[in-house]
Amino acid sequence: MTLKETSLLLLALYGGLFTFLLTGVGSLGVLFLKKNNPKVFSVSLGMAGGIMIAASFWSLLTPALEIAKETYTFPFIPVVIGFILGVFLLRVLDLAVPHLHFASLPNEQEGPKIPLKKSILILLAITIHNIPEGLAIGVSFGSVEENQALLAGAYNLTLGIGFQNIPEGLALSLALKHAGLSRIKSFLYGFLSALVEPIFSLTGAGATLISSYLLPYALSLAAGAMIFVTIEELLPEAQKFGNSDLASLGFGIGFLVMMILDTSLG
């Protein structure tokens, strides 16, 4: 392994650790807040969804197409294949892992109907959600091996995911507290739910560094997985808190913030 590859692996790991720590920052709120505020949740989760969608387009799909143009006669083919694989991967996890989204009722449990505590089901749901975020960070840093100009985009993607992890960590920890856990356990479990992010960021970077031919597939796979999670979980959860207008407003703000980061600073 070259020095540059080792450096990119370390950057991917640091990126995953950064977003992991910001989840902890959000989870800290459960130690101080006495009651939930549905309006804040709607705006926050809407913003998280906007960031995820914008990041999928400008930080993942656009670079995937640009890289594919250098190798493939029809560059959309590897991007389409990767995107479908990303959606398929998350759908399989959705069906295979018992989980419950934090704004859902107990009878809305998804996956195998295994009798587990509500807190565990909620924790599993957000852990599934964090996997594509880690992969996205990893493959974005791995793509820098092929094109040095993509480094700024990798940083921006990491920053955007980190920012959206703050309200997400808070929402998860409050949901765990509402499910019956103590404040301390709610904070710890909410924090640890994002531990998969540095693990999968390292995995994603390692996979893309194996061969440049895998880059468009990996980037679009991460995009497909993130878009699936956003549409299947984040936006419906934001709507369930009863403030659809605020959720839509938050989505617009998050989308524009991430777009400005990627197009102006990337």
CA dihedral 252, 258, 261, 263 (to 10 degrees): -80
Closest CA to 143 of 132, 134, 153, 133: 153
Q: pLDDT tens digits for 87-119?
A: 999 999 989 999 887 767 777 788 888 888 888
pTM (whole model) above 0.85:
yes
pLDDT at residue 266 tops 70: no
**pLDDT tens track for 14-68:** 999 999 999 999 999 989 877 667 787 788 888 889 999 999 998 899 999 988 9
Q: 73-82 pLDDT, tens per residue?
A: 898 999 999 9
Distance from chain centroid for Cα 197? 8
Q: What is the 3-state secondary structure (H, E, C) of 82-129?
A: HHHHHHHHHHHHHHHCCECCCCCCHHHCECCCCCCCHHHHHHHHHHHH
pLDDT in tens, 213-243: 888 999 999 999 999 999 988 888 888 766 7
Question: Is the CB of residue 153 less than 8 Å from the CB of residue 74?
Answer: no
